[in-house]
Amino acid sequence: MIDSPHVTPLRRRDLGTPPPASPSATRVHLTIDGIAIEAAVGTSVMRAARDAGINIAKLCATDSLNAFGSCRLCVVEIAGRRGLPASCTTLVDDGMVVRTQTEQIARVRRNVMELYISDHPLDCLTCAANGDCELQDMAGAVGLREVRYGMEGATHLALAKDESNPYFTFDPSKCIVCSRCVRACEEIQGTFALSITDRGFAAKVSAGMSESFLESECVSCGACVQACPTATLTEKTVIEAGQPDRVVKTTCAYCGVGCSFRAEMKGNDVVRMVPDMDGGANEGHSCVKGRFAWGYASHRDRVLAPMIRDSIADAWRTVGWDEAIAYAAARFRSIQAQYGHGAIGGVSSSRCTNEEVYVVQKLVRAAFHNNNIDTCARVCHSPTGYGLKQTFGTSAGTQDFRSVAQADVIVVIGANPTDAHPVFAARMKRRLRQGAQLIVIDPRRIDLVRSPHVQASHHLALKPGTNVAVINALAHVVVTEGLANEAFVAERCDAASFEQWRAFIARPEQSPEATEAFTGVPATELRQAARLYAGARNAAIYYGLGVTEHSQGSTMVMGIANLAMAAGQLGRDGVGVSPLRGQNNVQGACDMGSFPHELPGYRHISDGATRGTFEQAWQVTLDEEPGLRIPNMLAAAVAGQFRGIFIQGEDLAQSDPNTQHVTDALRAMECVIVQDLFLNETAKYAHVFLPGTAFLEKDGTFTNAERRINRVRPVMPPRTGQFEWETVCRLATAMGYPMAYNNAAGIMDEIAALTPTFAGVSFAHLDRVGSVQWPCTAAMPIGTRIMHEDRFVRGKGRFMLTQYVPTDEKSNRRYPLLLTTGRTLTQYNVGTQTRRTKNATWHAEDVLEIHPHDAEMRGIGTGDGVLLSSRKGSITLHAVVTERVPAGVCYTTFHHPDTAANVITTEFSDWATNCPEYKVTAVEVRPVD
């Protein structure tokens, strides 16, 4: 059952052209068709008219793309001007008198439409775009009744359809050459895969070098499909299902960008997902995963009923919910009876909603009576939470995504946005094309270093594991060359910590010249990069797991924070320190009290006042001792003290490091409860399997990397028969702690009541305003775009000493290469979802990238099978010889369970948070037959 449907119109209003590029407060007055209109300077006549409800005809114009002026349907008459100017490319002027309808205009528009239709198939009734075709609409609008040219002339009707892309078709016979697809590829996505080839009547849309869409450099973001006004580019699902009959706005469940989507539905089936122009994170854009890779939700592998078994050697037995819950509760209770309260724990998921995560931590704290709650953020961004809290006072990024549009210098550290955060990367590339300068700090030559119309000013290709030495060297240059923003530091930062840090960072051993030998970054290049960053009007840092997943992950985060404070690049638009979050709700999972030492809102469990608030609300006594982290739970399990675990939406056995250790721990437990969509790797060791809900069935909120709380609305009822939070509540109740909510909104109301930074959040409020960025309170009802604007949350920004300590994981004679890991565009994390979609077309297997020099020494060529070994284990995969990786470094992804990349990763982890050191493993690579 789904509560209160949020009604969204089927078609959105298109104002034809974007708002003025540089918003102006100056307004002008004009009349359009006799109606007095006021508009901002820089607004097009078309937008001003459409805003006032006068829908001037158009085909090549759409408000997501710059005005182009090619279709000539939008011509108008302007008093005192010659001819018929196009209203999309003509800007409003004070006193302008516009007429949008005259006999002559009507004739010209009808004749233009007649030209279009003289080269268009007359198959409207059987066309996939029937009912959603702007060409059809315009033919109607201008009153086209006849094509006097006949259909005997030259046409494109015989051109063949390109069906190579798994998700959409390209039918050039229906193309009107409006270039909306080409412009979307350039302006929105920035891939430049599409162009118009030939000219005049022969002009046509072409992918790559006149290749098929699949063979071209197209990244299948779908911006072209969305931009197409006809059936030329159409989702295959629309061809199959026809037009949607209702729309539900919801939020993507892949990466931490958190794109808003319109789920266009037919009954309870998704027809297509269309990114929402009103979405604060994505403003109408999406990537191949969010837009297209949602089919896993109805994949046949999905488990829809609970299952139990006594031993992992037994076969699964499908049971009803009541039996499964009773069985799980009984086993957990018996473990606690025998081994004590602390012998069980839970893991929440960054893939689940805030409400689901909240009830899981409540289950652990209130029903298990311990604090053994951890989350998969442990293995990705826990150092972010720690490092930014220590320095700024808040465990979150400082900016919203929109802020990048004001940055003059962009620093990307250990992140690969074009693959892992493609929608944000598109924004970033847009800014780079406008002239912002880019510094990339990454061992690999990621696509951003050089791609169409983007080129990094500096690529600091550091050796894996030397992050802290490089960030310290950058700060050293800032401090010793007098580039520090003394005024900012004096006003905003803690003076004592700064003085101490200044002395520390100015030491000669921090200098780029001293560190060059082991970081591999040339000192002169590093100095230039430091000057560029510190000297910029606005410089912004974006970082990813290449920063956090190291033994010094937390140190590096603090090092970044130090640098930003020293340079005064904080607290306004265009600057800041922004983690690019891996999971859709990793921010939210952390916010919701998923860590063993913190209650929701990052308040320490030992704080009596906070604990008291929760105790009173929950009517239970809470343990004041922090509980176990995942690695502690696993270690305790191997030691026999930890016997039962509830894991919601995480595949520990595939995603956590040192697989052997993880599976040993799971095997040692008496009761492993897994709640997931699929029987994942961890489920092999489970005794209870509780089916979970896909994001399309969830009701709740996700919080993205910019602290934006977005509504996740169920577009269809849960196929399992209940929401995941209901399952958790039933388990808690069965364990003896009654827990119940009327709906997910009720959970958020409780979160808001107990968490100051969420005080202003409710579903009703979100339905009204779209989304908010926390902190959201009565005083700041739409939240906080940019953090630390006037002062740091902790008061004064605190500089932390960041001594570089080399990792213990070092290359040696036996393991001479360093392996680092990452993601690819079309796949997501361990691939549970994306492998069950047609995204598998692009990435059928994980491969090992190896430098030509290292490959040649070992007799390895592209496509060869190789054995990749660390001191922890070995795996086999195919090699790709490429200069994207420097000599001495190799790289792979971990999307396929067959690859089992974590068989070889080590137990080393961040000193502060235990975030695993995925990014550095000493390995050897050998050819195999």
Q: Which residues bind other proteins (CB under 8 A)?
A: 67-72, 75, 83-84, 86, 88-91, 104, 107-108, 111-112, 115-116, 118-119, 148-149, 153-154, 176-177, 179, 195-196, 198-203
**Among 890, 828, 835, residue whose Cα is nearest residue 421:** 828
In DSSP terms, 791 is beta-bridged to none
Contacts of 768 (CB under 8 A, 6+ apart): none
Q: How far is the CB of 104 from other proteins (least distance, A)?
A: 7
Q: Which CB, 211 or 907, lies closer to other proteins?
A: 211
Q: How far is the CB of 454 from other proteins (least distance, A)?
A: 16
Q: How far is the CB of 29 from other proteins (least distance, A)?
A: 20
Q: How far is the CB of 165 from other proteins (least distance, A)?
A: 24
What is d(CA 243, CA 235) in angstroms, rounded to the nearest whole number?
A: 11
Q: How far is the CB of 148 from other proteins (least distance, A)?
A: 5
- In b/e form, how buried is each residue of 766-780, taking b as 16+ CB within 10 angstroms? beeebbbbbbbbeee
Q: How far is the CB of 152 from other proteins (least distance, A)?
A: 8
Q: Which CB, 201 or 756, lies closer to other proteins?
A: 201
- In b/e form, how buried is each residue of 890-915, taking b as 16+ CB within 10 angstroms? bbbbbbbbebbbbbbbbbbbbebbbb
Sheet with 708-712: list strands edge to edge: 700-703, 708-712, 771-773
Q: How far is the CB of 228 from other proteins (least distance, A)?
A: 16
Q: How far is the CB of 473 from other proteins (least distance, A)?
A: 33
- In b/e form, how buried is each residue of 442-478, taking b as 16+ CB within 10 angstroms? bbbbbbbbebeebebebbbbbbbbbbbbbbbbbbbbb
Q: Which CB, 95 or 149, lies closer to other proteins?
A: 149
What is d(CA 584, CA 570) in angstroms, rounded to the nearest whole number?
A: 25
Q: Which CB, 536 or 547, lies closer to other proteins?
A: 536
Q: Which CB, 154 or 487, lies closer to other proteins?
A: 154
Q: Which CB, 196 or 857, lies closer to other proteins?
A: 196
591 CB-contact burial (10 Å; exposed 0-12 / middle 13-18 / buried 19+) = buried
Q: How far is the CB of 457 from other proteins (least distance, A)?
A: 19
What is d(CA 305, CA 317) in angstroms, rounded to the nearest whole number?
A: 10
DSSP of 764-775, one letter per residue? Answer: HHHHHHSEEESS
Q: Which CB, 60 or 411, lies closer to other proteins?
A: 60
Cβ distance 610 to 604 under 8 Å? yes
Q: How far is the CB of 571 from other proteins (least distance, A)?
A: 29
Q: How far is the CB of 91 from other proteins (least distance, A)?
A: 7
Q: Which CB, 11 or 199, lies closer to other proteins?
A: 199
What is d(CA 644, CA 468) in angstroms, rounded to the nearest whole number?
A: 38
What is d(CA 806, CA 99) in angstroms, rounded to the nearest whole number?
A: 72
Q: Which CB, 91 or 532, lies closer to other proteins?
A: 91
Cβ distance 806 to 788 under 8 Å? no
**Among 698, 722, 832, 706, residue whose Cα is nearest residue 250:** 698
Q: Which CB, 68 or 918, lies closer to other proteins?
A: 68
Q: How far is the CB of 355 from other proteins (least distance, A)?
A: 49
Q: Which CB, 196 or 805, lies closer to other proteins?
A: 196
What is d(CA 716, CA 133) in angstroms, rounded to the nearest whole number?
A: 27
Q: What angle separates helix 744-754 from helix 354-362, to the nearest 10 degrees?
A: 70
Cβ distance 444 to 818 under 8 Å? no
Q: How far is the CB of 633 from other proteins (least distance, A)?
A: 58
Q: Which CB, 17 or 757, lies closer to other proteins?
A: 17
What is d(CA 561, CA 547) in angstroms, rounded to the nearest whole number?
A: 12
What is d(CA 884, CA 146) in angstroms, rounded to the nearest whole number?
A: 58
Amino acid letter for position 672: V
Q: How far is the CB of 100 from other proteins (least distance, A)?
A: 15
**Among 789, 822, 786, residue whose Cα is nearest residue 894:** 822
Q: Which CB, 84 or 674, lies closer to other proteins?
A: 84
568 CB-contact burial (10 Å; exposed 0-12 / middle 13-18 / buried 19+) = buried
Q: Which CB, 72 or 698, lies closer to other proteins?
A: 72
DSSP 721: S
Q: How far is the CB of 679 from other proteins (least distance, A)?
A: 53
What is d(CA 194, CA 55) in angstroms, rounded to the nearest whole number?
A: 29
Torsion sign across C-alpha atoms 617, 705, 629, 552: negative
Q: Which CB, 90 or 821, lies closer to other proteins?
A: 90
